């Protein structure tokens, strides 16, 4: 069963959606504020579909989308570490920083460039429900990629200050993209069953997307060497706990509450 793989996809969408929603009310302009909120709602919708699918497959009478989103803890989440990081450059734990739009945009770009390829591959998954979710999500991811790519180029090819900040954001984020392509048992099993996408086969295309954009933005592509993060294995950075605390507190304070 590919439950962990579906959770991996769903958790990616939920956690990045939650992160991007932190721009709500703080966007650089009202128009961009709405664009990021739209992005979050798309991701939340993807997470819901994937969690509902998990609940259906488990069919144990208790698993539900709410249970998966609100009642699991840090080690249960299978999202990429990059998606749980705050909207700022590297910090010591507990430090407070303001939102850095370049980090937000850089992350959305690197992630949606991957997901366009992943959803394309999953459109022919043997899991028909997953294939349908992929077909729907591909359109959303394509727009997210277009939106983020547009900003990477604008900021990179903009003023000296915006160029410097976009470059710093990419340097901060790029090492985390190694996790996109590192092997894991749940991904290998899902790919072998014809259900999941093998990201190692997508790397050349992803590199091409990144290189084209970085070049158009007059930026340098930073090296992606060093520590390989392990969020998809359930071993996360210190940041995910804070994200979950904020996201889950209401549901946990009022269990079983209904609208």
Partner 1 sequence: MNVHVAKDGSPPALKDWPLWEVFVRSKQGLEHKHCGSLHASDAAHALHLARDIYTRRQEGVSIWVVPSKAITASNPDDKPALFDPAADKIYRHPTFYDIPDAVGHM
What does the binding site for partner 1 look like in residue numbers (CB under 8 A)?
28-32, 34-35, 38, 88-89, 91, 95, 97-98, 100, 143, 146-147, 150, 154, 161, 164-165, 168
Query: Cβ 109 to partner 1, closest distance in Å?
Result: 14
Give the Cα separation of 139 and 146 in Å (integer). Answer: 11
Beta bridge partners, 230, equal 235
Is the CB of residue 126 less than 8 Å from the CB of residue 159? no
Q: Which is nearer to partner 1, 26 or 227 (CB)?
A: 26
With residue 17 as reference, give the H or E element that holds it: helix 3-21
Query: Given the complex with partner 1, which of 78 and 144 has the nearer CB atom?
Result: 144
Our CB check for partner 1 shows the closer of 89 and 131 to be: 89
Minimum CB–partner distance for residue 150 and partner 1 (Å): 6
Q: Measured from the CB of residue 166, what is the shortest distance to partner 1 in angstroms?
A: 10
Angstrom distances, CA of residue 167 to CA of 91, 153, 156, 159, 170: 17, 11, 7, 12, 5
The least distance separating partner 1 from the CB of residue 162, rounded to whole angstroms, comes to 9
β-sheet bridge partners, residue 235: 230
- Which of 164/183 has CB closer to partner 1? 164
Across the strands, what pairs with 25?
A: none
Q: Give the number of residues written for the chain.
A: 259
Classify burial at 228, counting beta carbons within 10 Å of its beta carbon; exposed 0-12, middle 13-18, buried 19 or more: middle
CB of 156 to partner 1, least distance (A): 14
Nearer to partner 1, 89 or 123 (CB): 89
3-state helix, strand, coil in the chain (%, to 5): 70, 0, 30
Report the residue number, 66 or 150, with the smaller CB distance to partner 1: 150
Q: How far is the CB of 89 from partner 1 (least distance, A)?
A: 6
206, two tokens: 């992803």
């Amino acid at each position: 069963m590919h439950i962990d793989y579906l959770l991996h996809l769903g958790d990616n969408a939920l956690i990045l959606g939650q992160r991007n929603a932190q721009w709500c009310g703080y966007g650089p302009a009202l128009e961009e504020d709405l664009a990021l909120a739209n992005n979050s709602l798309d991701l939340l919708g993807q997470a819901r579909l994937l969690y509902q699918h998990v609940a259906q497959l488990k069919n144990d009478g208790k698993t539900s989308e709410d249970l998966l989103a609100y009642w699991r803890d840090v080690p249960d989440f299978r999202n990429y570490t990059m998606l749980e990081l705050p909207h700022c450059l590297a910090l010591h734990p507990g430090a407070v920083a303001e939102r850095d739009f370049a980090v937000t945009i850089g992350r959305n770009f690197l992630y949606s460039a991957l997901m366009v390829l992943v959803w394309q591959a999953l459109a022919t998954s043997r899991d028909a429900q997953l294939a349908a979710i992929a077909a729907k999500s591909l359109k959303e991811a394509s727009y997210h990629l277009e939106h983020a790519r547009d900003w990477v180029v604008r900021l990179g090819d903009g003023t000296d200050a915006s160029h410097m900040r976009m470059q710093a954001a990419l340097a901060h984020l790029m090492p985390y993209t190694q996790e996109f392509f590192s092997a894991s048992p749940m991904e290998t099993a899902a790919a072998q069953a014809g259900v999941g996408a093998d990201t190692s086969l997508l790397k050349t295309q992803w590199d091409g997307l990144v290189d084209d954009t970085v070049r158009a933005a007059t930026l340098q592509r930073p090296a992606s060497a060093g520590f390989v993060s392990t969020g998809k294995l359930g071993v996360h950075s210190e940041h995910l706990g804070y994200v979950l605390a904020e996201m889950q507190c209401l549901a946990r304070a009022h269990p079983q509450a209904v609208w």
